[in-house]
Chain A
Amino acid sequence: MAKILKKEILAPNIKKIIVEAPEVAKKAQPGQFVILRIDEKGERIPLTIGDFDREKGTLTIVFQEVGKSTYHLGLLNEGDEILDFVGPLGKPSEIEKFGTVCCIGGGVGTPEIYPVARALKEVGNYVISIIGARNKELVIMEKEMREVSDELYITTDDGTYGMKGFVTDALKKILDSGKKIDRVIAVGPVMMMKAVSELTKNYNIKTIVSLNAMMLDGTGMCGICRVEIGGETKFACVDGPEFDGHLVNYDLLMARLRTYLEEEKLSLKLFKEKMGIQ
């Protein structure tokens, strides 16, 4: 059981919760995730540890409502309990002094990249961050990201805030300005991570991405999270979730994410009807 201590709406369909989980908080490191199950009939879903406070024994999680489980999570209130909550899972991000690093967050990838950017800054990297969203309303965690970045760029698809375009447009601009970047870390939608990787490959910059494969147990037991890295099969939950972006088979990842599209639609429809939400 993990109690929700605080809940905040960051943007339409994007919510932040602070959860009491002292054992997990004690061990959590940037780049790791938890798996939770809301109630007895619920499914197990992976969510990144957005932030952690070891002293208070709390974790921050930011999630986007996309299907039944995340909508359900979004309906829980402060004081409610999540039935099952396990972690920290996966390998932590590599935190070293690389020199100049570029941290890219797309959508709910921004809260996921935040603790990584902060840790990279703490060990002395020059941190350039790019956050991208569809429009101004969906830009989240700007203030927090600014605090841990030496430079911060914002892009929106429709140009309502920051630079108009995608995160890759901003990245290309930075690269073409002659700035030397030693490493790129990108977290966000698969398409975005794919595009970033394609771009940085031309510039020969090591790029790390965090793969959001479907997961079940999160401990290497089931193999649903298998991804292909440089032609080799890996389990994202134990070998990742972070991998070398230039080696990822993104098409396979996207195809696998579509496995249960029909069932997910049905599940969400039934849930919305039951709860009377639009």
Chain B
Amino acid sequence: MAIIPKKTPMREQPPKERIKNFNEVPLGYTPEEAINEAKRCLQCKKPPCVKGCPVEIDIPGFIEKIREGNFKEAIRILKDKNSLPAICGRVCPQEDQCEKECVLGKKYEPVGIGRLERFAADWEAEQGIMEIPKIEKSTGKKVAVVGSGPAGLTCASELAKMGHEVVIFEALHKPGGVLVYGIPEFRLPKIIVEREVNYIKALGVKIICNFVVGKTKTVDELLEEFDAVFVGTGAGLPWFMNIPGENYTGIYSANEYLIRVNLMKAYLFPEYDTPIVRGKNVAVIGGGNVAMDAARTALRLGAEKSMIIYRRSKNEMPARIEEIERAEEEGVIFHFLTLPVRYYADENGKVKEMECIRMELGEPDHSGRRKPIPIPNSNFKIPVDTVVVAIGQSPNPLIPQTTKGIEVGKHGNIIIDEKTGKTTKKGVFAGGDIATGAATVILAMGAGKVAARAIDEYIKTGIW
């Protein structure tokens, strides 16, 4: 069989069109396109791609079913290991995971595993079917899950399938974590998150929103009612640079900017009540996925200029290549080797200018990336009316602060045993960004799954 060197292309909204709306950018495969792409898979006997997937999906297995046109079986295989396939197919950094290991990738483009996963999940949704897997007989045990991001949702669904009673407590008014408040609609439509959440509810998981653990009830209080607690509260604490003028109005954390737009639908103001500043000259500080999301959001809110300000060069940018390319296509302007040093405001305290300094790259630092060093006297100013600070975030300290006996590391991350998710406190498990610091959806899901297994064992045996 001849090898097809390139991935089957996926149709997408053209850049000029898509920056005028919040609709999804890539449009997905048709069944024919999906079958064509599935045909590229070599069905390796010892498939390396599976090792690249943190939840070990039977990748050749589901692809084979797509090739046969048996989409129903394909989705069953996917869901066996991954309860959020429509989400992972869209937002997993596949180039660093499954697709990185694909044998085809050595010489040609790897199989579009993510695209096929997305196809199967979307196909199922279109049929309006939702198959509920077998749920074990009730064990009479109760588990509380704190946080409804990918870690919490996965842990909850696994535990529910094992027959345990599970309640998720979520601080915000909608479940989904970063999937609903952070990742924009044009990359991950919220209806998909809702659908996946409904699936998890259909497994019998109860979700209680508007409940801040540590405030409404503490972890210790939950332990009186539940046999175990899983903490999946993410890395929601935004960092600022602590430079002069950073508190002027018009300067947002990426979290605030994205929460307003995604969770509160500020792009639909005044139909929705939450407003947002629709800047003409927007500067986004940072070079990760979050920065790309903010810069592309700014364009859709009508910015004339949406700029990325990054202190290293393009090669060091942590964002996914695909996201950087999309941002470039849409007209985001990149200022590399540039570091903001202070902000200036107008008489109303609103930001109007940003002073930056140029950088050069020195020796590699502990992260292996070349360290940026300021060039003396290279300061210059950029006019701005909106700034979004997207330089990272760390775990929220609320739970460690209000719970005795949960140890945290240097960056406030909860310390866990990676094989079980056990924290230093009996009966309390944790996983996802709260333990690792800001990472990925699929790693958070993997952590939720590992913890679910260990929780099952702990509540059945009582052995810590």
Chain A interface (Cβ < 8 Å from any Cβ of B):
23-24, 27, 37, 41-44, 68-69, 83-89, 216-217, 219-224, 226, 228, 233, 238, 251-252, 255-256, 258-260, 263-264, 266-267, 270
Contact = CB atoms under 8 A, between A and B. Distances in A.
B256 A223 contact: yes
A222 B274 contact: no
B210 A259 contact: no
Given A228-B247, A238-B398, A263-B270, A219 B171 contact: yes
Contacts of A226: 240, 247
20 contacts: A23-B217, A27-B216, A43-B264, A44-B274, A83-B173, A86-B210, A86-B216, A88-B216, A216-B264, A217-B171, A222-B255, A224-B252, A233-B242, A252-B349, A255-B249, A255-B348, A258-B348, A258-B349, A259-B277, A259-B350
Contacts of B271: 41
Contacts of A221: 236-238, 255, 259, 396
B211 interface: yes
Contact of A258 (B172, B249, B264, B272): B249
B270 A270 contact: yes
B273 interface: yes
Given A216-B256, A252-B349, 20 more contacts: A23-B211, A24-B216, A27-B215, A27-B217, A42-B273, A43-B273, A84-B210, A86-B212, A89-B212, A216-B259, A216-B264, A219-B215, A221-B255, A222-B253, A223-B253, A224-B252, A226-B247, A255-B248, A255-B249, A267-B270
A191 to B, nearest CB: 16
A238 B171 CA distance: 14
A219 B396 contact: yes
Given A220-B396, A221-B255, A256 B249 contact: yes
B243 to A, nearest CB: 11
B260 interface: yes
A267 B275 contact: yes
Residue among B211, B240, B259, B273 with the highest chain A CB neighbour number at 10 A:
B273
Contacts of B242: 233
B108 interface: no
B269 interface: yes
Nearest to B253: A223
B99 interface: no
A222 B211 contact: no
A69 B264 CA distance: 14
B246 A233 contact: yes
A258 to B, nearest CB: 7
A43 B217 CA distance: 24
Contacts of B250: 259
A230 to B, nearest CB: 14
Interface string B218-257: 0000000000000000001110101000111110110110
B373 interface: no
Nearest to A24: B216
Shortest 6 CB-CB contacts between residues of A and residues of B: A255-B349, A263-B275, A222-B256, A43-B273, A86-B210, A223-B253
A233 B240 contact: yes
Contact of B256 (A68, A224, A270): A224
A261 to B, nearest CB: 9
A43 B274 contact: yes
A262 B217 CA distance: 38
B50 interface: no
A216 B270 contact: no
A96 B63 CA distance: 67
Interface of B: 171-173, 209-212, 215-217, 236-238, 240, 242, 246-250, 252-253, 255-256, 259-260, 264-265, 269-275, 277, 348-350, 396-398
Contact of B264 (A44, A220, A259): A44
Nearest to A225: B256
B349 A256 contact: yes
A216 B173 CA distance: 11
Nearest to A88: B215
A260 B269 CA distance: 12
Given A27-B216, A84-B210, A86-B212, A264 B275 contact: yes
A216 B260 contact: yes
A234 to B, nearest CB: 10
A44 B259 CA distance: 11
A27 B212 CA distance: 12
Contacts of A259: 249-250, 277, 350
Nearest to A23: B216
A219 B273 contact: no
A228 B245 CA distance: 11
Nearest to B246: A233
B210 A223 contact: no
A219 B350 CA distance: 25
A196 to B, nearest CB: 22
A256 B250 CA distance: 9
Contacts of B171: 86, 217, 219
Contacts of B215: 27, 87-89, 219
Nearest to A86: B210
Contacts of B275: 260, 263-264, 267
Contacts of A238: 398
Contacts of B211: 23, 86
B275 to A, nearest CB: 4
Nearest to B258: A222
Given A27-B216, A223-B240, A233-B242, A41 B272 contact: yes
A8 B173 CA distance: 28
Contact of A219 (B212, B247, B274, B348): B212
Contact of B259 (A69, A217, A270): A217
A43 B259 CA distance: 12
A83 B210 CA distance: 10
